[in-house]
Structure 1
Amino acid sequence: MAAASGMIMQNIFIAKQYQKNSHFVNRYRMGCSSPYVSSMLPFQGGKFAWDGTTSMQLVNVSKYQRTSVNRGLVLCNAAPSAAVPTLEKADFLKLQNGSDIRGVAVAGVEGEPVNLTEPVTEAIAAAFAAWLKDKKKEEASRHLSISIGHDSRISAQTLQDAVSRGISSVGVDVIQYGLASTPAMFNSTLTEDDAFLCPVDGSIMITASHLPYNRNGFKFFTSAGGLGKADIKDILELAADIFKNSSVEAYARNKASASVKRVDYMTVYTSNLVKAVRRAAGNIEKPLEGFHIVVDAGNGAGGFFAAKVLEPLGAITSGSQFLEPDGLFPNHIPNPEDKVAMKAITQAVLDNEADLGIIFDTDVDRSAAVDSAGREFNRNRLIALMSAIVLEEHPGTTIVTDSVTSDGLTTFIEKKLGGKHRRFKRGYKNVIDEAIRLNSTGEESHLAIETSGHGALKENHWLDDGAYLMVKVLNKLASARASGAGGGSRVLTDLVEGLEEAAVAVELRLKINQSHSDLKGGSFRDYGEAVLKHLE
């Protein structure tokens, strides 16, 4: 067998081996060891033949935990080396997805090689910690801390450990929250509570939203909010440099030395949501008493909402479904835009004769609702509902949305509600940043919301929080009852009366051929931005 740089154990994961185990998806559950690439160093570049598969790139690995899938083990007779195999800066930059980082963390899906390995993750986390230290260099005498949370994905624990090691390697304290929501992670940078080691200086959420089980990624926060595209690019470039200068020995040393603290921060976050509803109802202890509300968490991180938010407020939550975290998402994609997901929560409302249904995406930064008659509040209807609620509180304010909203929504906001509608570039961070910009110019804006269900309010630090959006909806129910209006979710339906909707709405997402000659070797994003610039 040919030699490769580094006298270390080689593990090969071949898609054929996954395919041999035809029952893998049905058999695997959260309690088992998962098939993600553990302790894996990036692609070595040496090519070998094994198990009938030729020209297969090997992956360097110092240790791999046993999984429920078949695997091959190859011992390489190579000269020792302290060098970590090289990834180009461009490989790191490919992980950028707007203001997030996303990649493949679990092997086994044909055509989707793992690129979010543990060493890559360590480098990214170390880069964020170093970036944060640079931003806070005037506070150099103080020890910084970063909180880490994750959704229900099967690669979450391994990536959480790798993130912890990367942060620790830069001399920043690590605080793990375990299963958490994205909005809670941002809130941890704002909460002032020494008992929960808050506020933290920065926060990382390990999530890939509604993407398939083999994907994962990161969202980053400071007290100023989520990081923007330029910050993510800087962090990935720094991560590439850190990775390039790493060694196998340093990787092993980080793995042995990382220490963390663990905090149940979700207790704080859910308590604040409960208090917000009680305040809106005049400080009544159980303002939702008698309301029957079902929750569909899609086996993501949002299952807490039923027991930790609704029940303390007096709501009946029987009939709630898919509250248990399961990173294979066996019931439906946790996505408020998905027709199957919306059909599931609608059916749950009708079957249980509930007053309201609430559905979240995987990491709870998006949400939607269903009224007692099965009418959906998502996409344009969710924007209309939130606009009506916000414009009651802030007459005349500007509602910022993404560009794919309907003309009927514009008419509803401006003619029926008396507000202003500002359409802007798609992307939740783009919409939020535009609302912030408008306020800075003197134009009042209190809501930035996408058709995807990302909604951010000025009163909530411009955080896109699916749970907080639903709290605003619950506030409306509770305050209507307190004022004697009652009517259940009919109160919400009445708020969107007059919204003109298209008989049929179809959204097509086209696959881009990145090798097309028109791109001239660049990315489609660069090409698209050049076209938009030309049209200005």
Structure 2
Amino acid sequence: MDLSGLVKAYDVRGVVPDQLDESIARAIGAAFVDVTGAQRIVTAHDMRETGPGLARAFAEGAMHRGASVVEAGLSSTDMLYFASGHLDLPGAMFTASHNPAKYNGIKMCRARAVAIGQDTGLTEIRDRAGEYLDAGLSGAAAPGDVEQVDLLTPYAEYLRGLVDLAGIRPLKIVVDAGNGMGGYTVPAVLGDSVLPALPLDIVPLFFELDGSFPNHEANPLEPANIVDLQRKVVEEGADLGVAFDGDADRCFVVDAAGDAVSPSAITALVATRELAKAPGSAIIHNLITSHAVPEIVREHGGRPIRTRVGHSFIKAQMAREDAVFGGEHSAHYYFKDFWFADTGMLAAMHVLAALGEQPGTLADLTAEFSRYVASGEINSTVDDQAGRMTAVRKAFADDAKDVDELDGLTIELPDGSWFNIRPSNTEPLLRLNVEGPTQDAMAAVRDRALAAIRD
């Protein structure tokens, strides 16, 4: 069976049951054990209704191939990474992140949260699972067993050990969980449900776990999905607001005025904190983050390293460089202290600590990290991705200061403006990101690039 439409570059994701069902999950579980050689694995799932059944089917496939299974149950994605690191086991997380309710998926990793992507085992898992679906699963001579564990308290204790929030000034924060897993993890890590209270007054929004996402899509990068958070922060006179995506591995921040703080500014802020603990360390940033990020990293004695977009690329680069921290424009934040994996919760804790350790506002604190004007990601539907990218290159050929093709096409211009255009791996789209020294400069480049893309 051909699973190429289901198995993406970094994970498995599709509509349930039309594209992903328990028989496929069972085959992928068996293939996961074959490819990783694991004798024991850990699984977890988010709040989607289809999660428990898919996770159990995956476990059955793994046990067919002789592996034992530790079921962590209800978890955020970064809780699964914690489980993989803490237990030193390969893991599988059942989530479709911010996708609509009809979707589900699988994020897989080797022991200690090492990412599995297209070039690091996922293609082999896909092909092997397809073979099992065609030929059937044969039972192992000694099938594995299964056990259940509760890792919420160890996860909360671990994160609190990385960032000390007990001594900060009192802060009032609004947290929008989007009916996703933040509603499960925030009370444990930032609240007092399992550990002593912190000096945080938490105003919850949509903490009820509901994989149908009845209030808004659990993707805080879309402006429409943080309107409720922005309004509530202002109404409550809160110091800041934090929004998590569906599986709570990303976080997005707004200040006391309800204004969004760019993920690039958060990347720079957290980088300075990590460099203060580990001077001279490498900091990873993808090529869509603001040029302010490498500038600030250098100013604080760090070594900025630019990489492609995508968590499997960044995690691999983090490990190669022994980087202390990494950030993406999509609000994924990676930490050496977290097995080089991404965790929205730990990033949020750093923001709270940075704000609570000084008397000013979040807007004042992040002003120095917001040096340029960005367009945000603009998607264009095209019939010929390669042809349109060639057209863009030609349109800027006479005044391009620098051109590179690390990930798509990036062009830098003499006035300090730059843009990147990348083709989507799964849709007929080109994704454009532009940054400039001023609003007018950014808009001029944006409009030129879009004209070439859409002409």
TM-score bracket, normalised by the shorter chain, equals 0.7 to 0.9
Deviation for aligned residue 1:93: 2.4
**1:429 maps onto 2:312 in alignment:** yes
Corresponding residue number in structure 2 for 1:499: 370
Deviation for aligned residue 1:453: 0.9
Distance 1:184-1:498 versus aligned 2 partners, 3 A rule: closer
Corresponding residue number in structure 2 for 1:270: 156
Q: Is the 8 A contact 1:310 1:317 kept in 2?
A: no
Deviation per residue, 1:453-503 (Å, 9 max, x gap): 11112222201111111222233345x2xxxxx41654x74254253131x
SS of the residue 2:85 aligns to: coil
Q: Is the 8 A contact 1:129 1:172 kept in 2?
A: yes
Q: Is the 8 A contact 2:101 2:211 kept in 1?
A: yes
Cα distance in 1, alignment partners of residues 206 and 242 from structure 2 = 12
Distance 1:515-1:420 versus aligned 2 partners, 3 A rule: closer
Corresponding residue number in structure 1 for 2:414: none
Q: Is the 8 A contact 1:334 1:362 kept in 2?
A: yes
Aligned ranges 1:357-506 → 2 under 5 Å:
357-415=241-299, 417-439=300-322, 445-477=323-355, 480=357, 486-487=358-359, 489-490=361-362, 493-497=364-368, 499-502=370-373, 505-506=375-376
Corresponding residue number in structure 2 for 1:64: none
Identity of aligned residues (%): 28
Q: Which amino acid aligns with 1:272?
A: Y
Q: Is the 8 A contact 2:67 2:145 kept in 1?
A: no
Distance 1:313-1:476 versus aligned 2 partners, 3 A rule: farther
Cα distance in 2, alignment partners of residues 326 and 497 from structure 1 = 38
**1:147 maps onto 2:18 in alignment:** no
Distance 1:216-1:353 versus aligned 2 partners, 3 A rule: same
Corresponding residue number in structure 1 for 2:436: none
Corresponding residue number in structure 2 for 1:130: 34
Deviation for aligned residue 1:391: 3.0
Corresponding residue number in structure 2 for 1:117: 21
Distance 1:411-1:202 versus aligned 2 partners, 3 A rule: closer
Cα distance in 1, alignment partners of residues 81 and 320 from structure 2 = 20
TM-score, normalization by structure 1: 0.65
Distance 1:423-1:342 versus aligned 2 partners, 3 A rule: farther
Deviation for aligned residue 1:129: 1.8
Deviation per residue, 1:144-179 (Å, 9 max, x gap): 322211112232122122112212212222222221
Deviation for aligned residue 1:318: 4.4
Corresponding residue number in structure 2 for 1:345: 229
Aligned residues: 385
Alignment RMSD (CA, Å): 3.1
Q: Which amino acid aligns with 1:229?
A: Q
Corresponding residue number in structure 1 for 2:420: none
Deviation for aligned residue 1:377: 2.6
Distance 1:316-1:499 versus aligned 2 partners, 3 A rule: closer
Corresponding residue number in structure 2 for 1:164: 59
Distance 1:258-1:300 versus aligned 2 partners, 3 A rule: farther
Cα distance in 2, alignment partners of residues 390 and 200 from structure 1 = 25
Deviation per residue, 1:202-240 (Å, 9 max, x gap): 211001111111111111122242223221111111111
Distance 1:517-1:423 versus aligned 2 partners, 3 A rule: closer
Moved more, 309-318 or 456-465: 309-318
Cα distance in 1, alignment partners of residues 254 and 220 from structure 2 = 11
Q: Which amino acid aligns with 1:465?
A: T
Q: Which amino acid aligns with 1:308?
A: A
Distance 1:402-1:155 versus aligned 2 partners, 3 A rule: same
Corresponding residue number in structure 2 for 1:97: 8
Deviation for aligned residue 1:310: 1.6
Q: Which amino acid aligns with 2:218?
A: P
Aligned ranges 1:288-327 → 2 under 5 Å:
290-311=170-191, 312-327=196-211
Unaligned runs of 5+ in 1: 1-86, 107-113, 137-143, 192-198, 440-444, 481-485, 529-536
Q: Is the 8 A contact 1:289 1:313 kept in 2?
A: no
**1:202 maps onto 2:113 in alignment:** no
SS of the residue 2:378 aligns to: coil
Deviation for aligned residue 1:452: 0.4
Question: Which residue among 212, 215, 218 is the counterpart of 2:100?
Answer: 212
Deviation for aligned residue 1:355: 1.9
Cα distance in 2, alignment partners of residues 463 and 211 from structure 1 = 21
Corresponding residue number in structure 2 for 1:76: none
Deviation per residue, 1:288-314 (Å, 9 max, x gap): 573222211111111134321222342
Cα distance in 1, alignment partners of residues 361 and 185 from structure 2 = 18
Question: Which residue among 208, 224, 229 is the counterpart of 2:118?
Answer: 229
TM-score, normalization by structure 2: 0.76
Deviation for aligned residue 1:509: 2.5
Question: Which residue among 217, 220, 224 is the counterpart of 1:336?
Answer: 220
- Please tell me whether Structure 1 or Structure 2 has the larger radius of gyration of its CA atoms: 1
Q: Is the 8 A contact 2:15 2:102 kept in 1?
A: yes
Cα distance in 1, alignment partners of residues 128 and 117 from structure 2 = 16
Q: Is the 8 A contact 1:384 1:496 kept in 2?
A: no
Moved more, 509-518 or 401-410: 509-518
Corresponding residue number in structure 1 for 2:393: none
Q: Is the 8 A contact 1:295 1:358 kept in 2?
A: yes
